[in-house]
Amino acid sequence: MPTSPAIRLTRALLLLLVSTFLCYLISSAALDPRAWFEERTPRPPAAVVDRRLAELGLDDRQPVTERFARWSWRALHGDLGRTLDGTPVGEEFARRAGVTARLLLVGTVAGTVLGVLAGVWAAVRRGRLPDRALTVFSFAVLAVPPFVLGLLLQAGALTVNDAAGRTVIRYTGERTPGLQGGPVTQLRDALVHLALPTVSVALGAIALYSRYQRAATLDVLGAEHLRTAQAKGLTPGRALLRHGLRISLIPLTTVFSFGFLALFTGAVFTEQVFGWHGLGSWFVDAVHTGDVHAAVAVEVFAAALVLLAGLLGDALHRALDPRVRRR
Amino acid sequence: MSPARGKDVRRRLVRSPGAVAGTALLLGLFLFAYAGPPLAGWGYADIDYRALHSPPGARHWLGTNRIGQDVFVQSARGLQKSLLVGTLAAAVSTVLAAAVGVCAGYFGGWTDRVLTFCVDLLLVVPAFLVLAAVAPRLRAAGWLAYAGLIAAFGWMITARAVRALTRSLRERQFVVVARYMGVAPLVVIRRHILPHLASFLVTDATVTVAGAVISETGLAYFGFGAQPPDVSLGTLIADASDVPTTYPWMFYVPAGLLVLLILAFHLIGDALRRALDPVTAAAAVRGAP
């Protein structure tokens, strides 16, 4: 695409602004914070509820555009509003984002790298046992929704624990509550808790990326310059490594932004299943209580993540493909 | 598609183990969902107080849940809903994708710019999160509304592909000739563009069903979908999520049905892609919801 990075950046910012407005609009229309206040026992007087909603900037009797204008003006100055119980959204968001990052980081990186490697391997061994095994594996994993995958892993861990007679694999929460001991014990405890969610995230990434990478590698394998390289004496593996791998990675850069969104959405389920209190479970709670500001924060963050991943994908594309750079 | 090519495609499909297995699986699930409940003799909301948490047996073929509801019939009911929502959402979103993609690709110019911006915008808006926020409001409207909602957020990637295909079709000779002969745009689209997109759209719709099923059950899992006494495979799985080892039938029956349903559509989609386009059988697998 012959568009300059500056144009792409402007376009991304414009998309982010409009999608922020859309997210705010939809969330305000769909969620009902008034009901949450009114459902308390004893039921607070209407005047109190009205005042509280007005304080939070969530008064549903004002036009939504007005509420959005006020909220976005404050958001521009770094104030993302407050949750229904009065906590600043920014603070809670930062804490929760840390949890989600810890949940996703290892699984995503490991899953992507393993997926790409597996895809290349399967393409080279096309039609042979490793290729078939990987295809079956991908089909199986992609047919299992993320929440079922998480629950299956938990059930597996439970069986292992029962067989061992003690808790080998932890499968709920981020750490054992009230655990005594030094940093080494704490770290080991955190790692044990991380194991299963990480596997859950990584399996999905491997299944997805290996399919794309396999197809891309197959396309490259037939290319003439690879045959030339082999005719000049390089072994097939070496020719692929030196002249093919780089090109075969290019299609992956366009998948990147959607893959990222899928990962983030998957994390919402993974958090719920494994009892991690990150952005995903915060969002689910926000929808249940009608917490508009919290919901919008997570939605806009996801939108920004997609745009960022898209720009990153573009940059990678440029780095990998000299034909794009020349423009 | 010419008759000869149609025959060719059919032959390849019949020979493909994936297509045969997928179709058989889908037929089996269809039978389970619609012919099963009358045979079992229980309603999906019936409560059998004499059988709480009972394992599979003669009285309840696949056991009961914690309040004595028949797991077989409830799962069948959930499966019905997944089948309905999935196929309906896929149909709507495919039509939408075709309409937007063809218009953007064929007319170009400002039509293209505006539509592409809309597509990009909806791709940036986190679809599943927005779905989750809106779903509770639509409870009263029922599964039909869910299907529409899932369709509304699931057509964009297909539309992009349709746009790209249309742009290249537009330059093909038979389309150019038709244009110069003064054939109206809508007629050109109907006669010369859509037939060439049909195979892609059918293949894509099959995979979209799987995605829609995952979305619907995912919403239900969070409690944003079907409300009791009605059930969805997602609510059944959520209901059994803390007891997969103690009462395995409660978890593995709905989870297994869900996985088999998605697998069936993946298998058929993959086989269709290979049969329609044997040269570049590059399996571009769709991601999670």
Specify the CATH number for the domain of residue A164: 1.10.3720.10
Asked if residue B289 belongs to a domain, the reply is no
Q: How far is B214 from chain A (nearest CA, A)?
A: 6
Q: pLDDT tens digit string along A266-312?
A: 888 888 888 888 898 899 888 888 888 889 999 999 999 888 888 88
| DSSP annotation of B22 | H
Number of domains forming the structure of chain B: 1
User: For the residues A41-63, what does the mean pLDDT come to?
Assistant: 77
Contacts for A1 with CB less than 8 Å, ≥ 6 apart? none
Average pLDDT of the residues of chain B: 82
- Average model confidence (pLDDT) across chain A: 83
Write the pLDDT tens digit of every residue in A200-227: 889 988 998 898 888 888 888 777 777 7
**Looking at the predicted structure, is the pLDDT value of residue B161 above 50?**
yes
Q: Do residue A145 and residue B214 have CB atoms under 8 angstroms apart? A: yes
Q: A255 to chain B: nearest residue by CA? A: B287
| Smallest Cα distance from A208 to chain B, Å | 7
Query: Domain containing B69: what range?
Result: 3-282
> Do residue B259 and residue A219 have CB atoms under 8 angstroms apart?
no
CATH number for the domain including B12?
1.10.3720.10
A122-172, pLDDT tens digit by residue?
888 888 888 889 989 998 998 898 888 988 888 888 888 888 777 767 667
In terms of Cα–Cα distance, which of A97, A142, A90, A92 is closest to A264?
A97
Look at residues B219, B241, B139 and name the one whose alpha carbon lies nearest to residue A283. Answer: B219
Residue A139's domain comprises 97-324
Give the confidence band of B186 by pLDDT, cuts at 50, 70, 90: confident
Q: How confident is the model at residue B263 (pLDDT cuts 50, 70, 90)?
A: very high
**Closest CB from A30, A142, A288 relative to B285:** A142
Which pLDDT score, from 0 to 100, does residue B282 have?
38
Q: Is residue A84 part of a domain?
A: no
pTM of the model: 0.86
- The count of CB pairs under 8 A between chains A and B is 140
Task: Summarize pLDDT for B230-247 with one digit per residue, the tens.
Answer: 788 888 888 877 766 777
DSSP string, A190-213: HHHHHHHHHHHHHHHHHHHHHHHH
* Whole-complex ipTM: 0.84
The yes-or-no verdict on residue B178 having pLDDT over 80 is yes
Long-range interactions of B17-21: CB distance < 8 A, separation 24+: B18/B267, B18/B268, B18/B270, B18/B271, B18/B274, B19/B267, B19/B268, B19/B271, B19/B272, B19/B275, B21/B267
Residue B210 near residue B281, CB atoms below 8 Å: no
Cβ–Cβ contact A204 with B under 8 A: yes
Does residue B181 sit within a domain? Answer: yes
Query: Considering the domain boundaries, does residue B50 fall inside one?
Result: yes
Number of domains making up chain A:
2
**Which pLDDT value is given to residue B115?**
92
- Cross-chain CB nearest to A303 (options B125, B245, B255): B125
Q: Is residue A90 part of a domain?
A: no
